[in-house]
């Protein structure tokens, strides 16, 4: 191998790796893992831990495949937006054929792992999530309607359902409650980002809510969704999935998210929208961490 090839290898590897959107995938796998943990009563056995580990890898691979496929579809749009213009597909550093092959290999490898070592239901649900995000949301909904993130949010809300199915072989009401929380969390989370990135979306031609309905209307929607989300976050306690540890965390975090949304509605600034977006990430991560803590302590 030449010196140039040796230097180019890691660079190409990093380019492909970043197409998988690793930060997003970390949150996806974390939410799936919460579903797995909550599905197993008491202390997990070695077999449970092994199954969960394999399921996490399989879900990670298929989610990465969906992210890479998304980069192919949105190549031209990404090139117009400051937030995404650095991607290798947007800059033309990776060809569509190579990226498509990379996506296909990841999807097949992840699907095989899930089918062979977890269960067929988890594999099919994960594959359906791939289709929902990469095709239904990215290809159809995103360029068609400002409600794209609401409808397409169903794919992003699937991780805890996948985790639950991996450990139990079915989808229980507990998994659907977790699904509902993420489904309602997604619009205010994403619209907070879209508010301070509105010029990027306007240039891209995508009908995002701040572009089609304006800043004020979007801010109102963010506030209304956080209020509905607040109620949904109480459901694990009401249903009996958790105890007071989670309840306290859910109330504190939801008050925080709602307060940010209220302040954003009252008086807009790009910096406040950024802080709202960042807090939304803390909200979901800490909420699920509280569920995990609650599960093992009480």
- Shared domain for 134 and 261, answered yes or no, is no
Evaluate whether residue 16 is within a structural domain: yes
Q: Check whether 206 has a pLDDT greater than 90.
A: no
Asked whether residue 180 falls in the same domain as residue 91, the answer is yes
| Residues 144 and 221 placed together within one structural domain of the fold | no
119's tokens: 């269960």
Contact 15, 145 (CB under 8 A): no
Select from 184, 203, 234 the last residue of a domain: 184
Examine the pLDDT at 10 and tell me if it is beyond 70.
Answer: no
133 and 238 fall within a common domain = no
Q: Is 224 found in the same domain as 94?
A: no
Does the pLDDT value for residue 97 go beyond 80? yes
Last residue of a domain, one of 162, 184, 206: 184
Q: How far apart are the first and last CA of the chain?
A: 57
Domain boundary among the residues 184, 206, 241 is at 184
Answer whether 91's CB lies under 8 Å from 26's CB. Answer: no
Asked if residue 250 and residue 171 are part of one domain, the reply reads: no
Tell me: do 26 and 131 sit in the same domain.
yes
* In a domain? residue 132: yes
What percent of the chain is predicted at pLDDT more than 70? 96
Q: Verify that 84 and 39 share a domain, yes or no.
A: yes
Query: What is the predicted pLDDT for the residue at 246?
Result: 96
> Residue 296 — pLDDT band, cuts 50, 70, 90?
confident
3-state per-residue secondary structure call for 264-279: HHHCCCHHHHHHHHHH
Token representation of residue 84: 């995404």
Same domain, 165 and 277: no
DSSP line for the chain: --HHHHHHHHHHHHHHHHHT-HHHHHHHHHHHHHHHHHHS-SSPPHHHHHHHHHHHHHHHHHHHHHHHHHHHHTHHHHHH-TTTTTSTTTTTSS-HHHHHHHHHHHHHHHHHHHHHHT-HHHHHHHHHHHHIIIIIIIIIITTT-TTHHHHHHHHHT-HHHHHHHHHHSS--HHHHHHHHHHHHHHHHHHHHHHHHTHHHHHHHT---HHHHH-HHHHHHHHHHHHHHHHHHHTHHHHHTS--HHHHHHHHHHHHHHHHHHHHHHHS--HHHHHHHHHHHHHHHHHHHHHHHHHHHH-
| Claim to verify: residue 34 and residue 146 sit in the same structural domain | yes
Q: Please write the tens of the pLDDT for every residue from 28-77.
A: 998 999 999 999 988 899 999 999 999 999 999 999 999 999 888 888 87
Domain of residue 278: give its range. 215-298
- 68 inside domain: yes
pLDDT tier for residue 9 given thresholds of 50, 70 and 90: very low
Give the total number of structural domains in the chain.
Answer: 2
Note whether 44 and 104 are same-domain residues: yes
Per-chain mean pLDDT for the chain: 90
Which pLDDT value is given to residue 108?
97
**Domain holding 83: CATH number?**
1.10.357.140
Which pair of structure tokens corresponds to residue 122? 């988890």
Q: Residue 17's pLDDT band (boundaries 50, 70, 90)?
A: confident
Contacts of 82 (CB under 8 A, 6+ apart): 197, 200
Question: Which tens digits make up the pLDDT trace of 126-166?
Answer: 999 999 988 888 888 888 888 888 888 888 899 999 999 99
- Asked if the model's pLDDT at residue 94 lies above 90, the reply is no
Query: What pLDDT does 141 receive?
Result: 81
- 50 in a domain, yes or no? yes
Residue 86 lies in a domain: yes
Rounded CA gap, 43 and 53, in Å?
A: 15
Residue 3 domain-assigned (yes or no):
no
Q: How confident is the model at residue 230 (pLDDT cuts 50, 70, 90)?
A: very high
> Residues 139, 222: one domain?
no
Whether 201 is covered by a domain: the verdict is no
Residue 275 lies in a domain: yes
pLDDT of 6: 37
The whole model's pTM is what?
Answer: 0.89
């Amino acid at each position: 191998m030449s010196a140039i090839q040796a230097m180019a290898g890691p660079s190409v590897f990093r380019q492909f790796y970043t197409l998988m959107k690793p930060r997003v995938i970390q949150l996806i796998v974390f939410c799936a893992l919460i579903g797995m943990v909550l599905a197993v009563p008491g202390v997990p056995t070695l077999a449970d831990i092994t199954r969960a580990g394999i399921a996490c890898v399989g879900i990670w691979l298929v989610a990465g495949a969906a992210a890479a496929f998304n980069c192919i579809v949105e190549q031209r749009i990404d090139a117009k937006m400051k937030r995404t213009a650095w991607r290798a597909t947007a800059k033309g550093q990776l060809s569509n054929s190579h990226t498509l092959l990379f996506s296909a290999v990841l999807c097949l490898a992840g699907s095989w792992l899930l089918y062979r070592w977890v269960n067929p239901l988890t594999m099919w649900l994960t594959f359906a999530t791939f289709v929902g995000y990469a095709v239904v949301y990215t290809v159809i909904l995103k360029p068609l309607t400002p409600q794209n993130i609401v409808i397409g949010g169903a794919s992003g809300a699937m991780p805890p359902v996948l985790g639950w199915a991996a450990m139990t072989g079915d989808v229980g009401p507990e998994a659907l409650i977790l699904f509902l929380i993420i489904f309602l969390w997604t619009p205010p989370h994403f619209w907070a980002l879209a508010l301070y990135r509105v010029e990027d979306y306007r240039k891209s031609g995508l009908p995002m809510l701040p572009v089609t309905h304006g800043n004020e209307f979007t801010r109102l929607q963010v506030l209304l969704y956080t209020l509905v989300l607040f109620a949904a976050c109480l459901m694990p306690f009401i249903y009996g999935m958790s105890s007071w540890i989670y309840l306290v965390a859910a109330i504190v975090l939801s008050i925080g998210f709602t307060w940010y949304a209220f302040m954003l509605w009252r008086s807009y600034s790009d910096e406040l929208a950024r802080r709202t977006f960042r807090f939304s990430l803390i909200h979901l991560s800490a909420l699920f961490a509280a569920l995990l803590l609650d599960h093992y302590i009480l």
